Structure 1
Amino acid sequence: MGILSRTPPNFFAAPFGFTGLAGTWLVLSRTANAPRGVSAALYVLAAAVWLVLLVGYLARVTTTRGRLMADLRDPVLSPFVSVIAIVAMQLGVGLHSYAPRTATVVVDVALVVVIGLGGWLTGQWMTGAPDQDKFHPGYLLPTVAGGLVASAAATTVGQPGLGRLCFGIGIVCWLVIGSLMLQRLFFRPPLPTPLVPTMAIEVAPAPVAGLAWFALTPAPDTLAFGLAGYTILMTLAQIRLIPIYLRTPFTPGFWAFTFSYAAVATLAIRWLAVERPPAQQALSWLIALLLTALIGAIAVRSVIALVQRTYFPPPPPPPPPPATTTAPESGHPR
């Protein structure tokens, strides 16, 4: 399996980002006459990347005894394991227009895995006394992103009751984990350099919640406006972080930008379709093209890192040779 067997769970942020971009183009096709094939091609690309990484991750956890449980207990990596199933839910949404029954099965199976993992990880955090300085915005993924993406996915495949249930999981966990996360970012030492890009995840909960709520309640109401307002605030906060991002060396962690900013872009396009300003279609296209350029740049930089063999983590060091002892020679007492 070679280098693929060194696939860590955070690498699934790449197909997650591609599904976010596909969702943006899907909304653009419905509101601004974009070709539907762009969204379909991006879902296919996301599925291909997801499958390759899944093969690699399965090799990782099956060739090293106890690797999966170690990942689920790791204070840095554990939240990212859930992204594997969250991406599967997103792929089910992309499949729904072409094979609705199959898409429903994919969404439901992935949803059960996501909620199950979210519950297990919540219990793990409750009993494991996590180090607050290792707490990072990725902790929003299993229950906040998982619950809200599951809400939109379930509603899309025709299960609005399940969508409401998952919306509750996502919103309540956002209120709890989100407040703890901001406390950590406000008052504790800065994140380690490899985790700096995860601050982009902070912008995601509000637009993902907004999209889930639009799926449940297409006509904008007070909650929809409130989620849009908080999305604006957290997007402005990201602008202040740009100098920090520019000083950070490129790592696969930069894929954290992709789904987060795709959620902002998709919600913006959705609101433009509701409000219908004079330049609605032009603004929608501009947002989608800027997002595509950003994700394309991260993808190109990732390919360069792959070619340079700097993308994957280095192989673990070989175990030390067993100690040898020399028996005393016969007839020569010590």
Structure 2
Amino acid sequence: MNQEVIKAIPSNRLQFFPVMMFATVMGLGGLTLVFERLNHVFLFSSMFATTFLIIATTLFFVILFTYFLKIIKYKEEVLKELNHPIRINFFAASSISMLILSAAFREYNLETSLSFFYFGAILHIFFTYYTIRFWINNNLEIVHSNPAWFIPIVGNLIVPIAGVGFLDNAILIFYFSIGMFFWIILFSIILNRIIFHNPFAPKFMPTMFILIAPPAIGFISYIKLTGNLDFFAQILFSLALFFTILVAFMYKNFVKIKFFISWWAFTFPLAAVTLSSILIYELTKKDFYMYLSYTLAMITTLIVTLVAVATIKHMAKKEICIME
């Protein structure tokens, strides 16, 4: 690696470059998938999806390259993140980003989609096992639990969505089973934390939106695997809708939160529930789901735009990638 390239990035900034930056790709990639489905189902212009795909892909490689430089120059900082009870969960955001890009590229270039999928699926199952081993081998406290724990779990539910046609269904069901089982287990733990223990620190309040993602992604994944809008599928969609309304009902908890990079936790779950709404409209053709899809698509686009602008604004002020 060219030493001049490494030195071009200020040491203090690179040292504190957070792994949760990959969540930005998840948000933009999710929005890309939303506009792809809007193009197919509601005949929106394909220009929006193409533009967001270019931005998300470029951002992914920029973040990947930057974090690779951090591994080279500040290996001890990376190890700290790998051994942090909260940050460890965000490593899976890198593999989820690959899976989302795989799904987004499927209609543009099948070989690119396949490459992203295999790298993402292999890396994600590694992070799943690594994270669960970390939970088992370390004496974690209840205050360490938060919805970010769902990140390595939810990714397993994305694998069947991106992987249909790439892998045998038996393997995709293996991933799906992991995601569904641990979603139920972790939800019980986190609900216990929310009700009976101290509230989340302000910077982790946005992670409440992650509660939307498992049932929303689980619904899409289940439909991809079975092709049936049965009773169980409708339960999953209803739960996704419930959690969406719940976080909307709690809007006062979010409006005054100071900006943190964790704001990107708002974005992908909203994209996920939007995609599930579009899918259930395709399957039922009910007007309610059409209006719901439009509404959620507008909200998701607005939130991603606001968070992206806030991120750029705070980057300009050098308030990101600093010591906490």
TM-score, normalised with respect to structure 2: 0.91
Aligned partner of 2:62 in structure 1 is 52
Superposed CA deviations along residues 196-229 of structure 1, whole A, max 9, x for unmatched, are: 1111111111101011112112331111111011
Aligned partner of 2:263 in structure 1 is 254
What RMSD, in angstroms, separates the aligned Cα atoms of the two structures? 1.8
SS in 2 for 1:309: coil
Aligned partner of 2:87 in structure 1 is 77
* 2:157/2:180 contact within 8 Å kept: yes
The structural deviation recorded for 1:253 is: 0.9
SS in 2 for 1:247: coil
Q: 1:167 and 1:185, CA in 2 relative to 1: closer, same or farther beyond 3 A?
A: same
1:312 equivalent in alignment to 2:321: yes
Aligned partner of 1:322 in structure 2 is none
Mapped to 2, the partners of 1:305 and 1:67 lie a distance apart of: 22
Superposed CA deviations along residues 66-93 of structure 1, whole A, max 9, x for unmatched, are: 3333211101211001111110111112
The structural deviation recorded for 1:309 is: 1.6
1:195 equivalent in alignment to 2:195: no
SS in 2 for 1:312: coil
* Identical residues among aligned pairs (%): 20
Paired residues for 1:1-334 under 5 Å: 1-2=9-10, 3-142=13-152, 144-155=153-164, 157=166, 159-278=168-287, 284-314=293-323
Mapped to 1, the partners of 2:297 and 2:156 lie a distance apart of: 25
Number of equivalenced pairs: 314
* 2:277/2:292 contact within 8 Å kept: no
The structural deviation recorded for 1:134 is: 1.6
Which sections of structure 1, spanning at least 5 residues, go unmatched?
317-334
The structural deviation recorded for 1:233 is: 1.6
* 1:214/1:220 contact within 8 Å kept: yes
Letter of the structure 2 residue corresponding to residue 241 of structure 1: M
Superposed CA deviations along residues 154-199 of structure 1, whole A, max 9, x for unmatched, are: 1264643322121111101111112111111111100112111111
TM-score, normalised with respect to structure 1: 0.88
* 2:145/2:189 contact within 8 Å kept: no
* 2:96/2:124 contact within 8 Å kept: yes
* 1:15/1:50 contact within 8 Å kept: yes
The structural deviation recorded for 1:300 is: 1.0
Mapped to 2, the partners of 1:156 and 1:261 lie a distance apart of: 26
Mapped to 2, the partners of 1:127 and 1:283 lie a distance apart of: 44
The structural deviation recorded for 1:304 is: 1.1
SS in 2 for 1:204: helix
Letter of the structure 1 residue corresponding to residue 48 of structure 2: V
* 2:270/2:296 contact within 8 Å kept: no
| Larger Rg, first or second structure (1 or 2) | 1
* 1:100/1:157 contact within 8 Å kept: no
Superposed CA deviations along residues 237-277 of structure 1, whole A, max 9, x for unmatched, are: 11232101112111111100000111111111211222223
Mapped to 2, the partners of 1:133 and 1:64 lie a distance apart of: 28
Superposed CA deviations along residues 32-73 of structure 1, whole A, max 9, x for unmatched, are: 112223222212211111111112212222212333332111
Mapped to 1, the partners of 2:216 and 2:256 lie a distance apart of: 27
SS in 1 for 2:116: helix
Mapped to 1, the partners of 2:133 and 2:303 lie a distance apart of: 36
Mapped to 2, the partners of 1:230 and 1:281 lie a distance apart of: 18
Q: 1:302 and 1:220, CA in 2 relative to 1: closer, same or farther beyond 3 A?
A: same
Which sections of structure 2, spanning at least 5 residues, go unmatched?
1-8
The structural deviation recorded for 1:286 is: 3.8
Mapped to 2, the partners of 1:236 and 1:106 lie a distance apart of: 33
* 2:147/2:207 contact within 8 Å kept: yes
* 1:151/1:163 contact within 8 Å kept: yes
Superposed CA deviations along residues 17-40 of structure 1, whole A, max 9, x for unmatched, are: 011111111121221112223222
* 1:32/1:281 contact within 8 Å kept: no
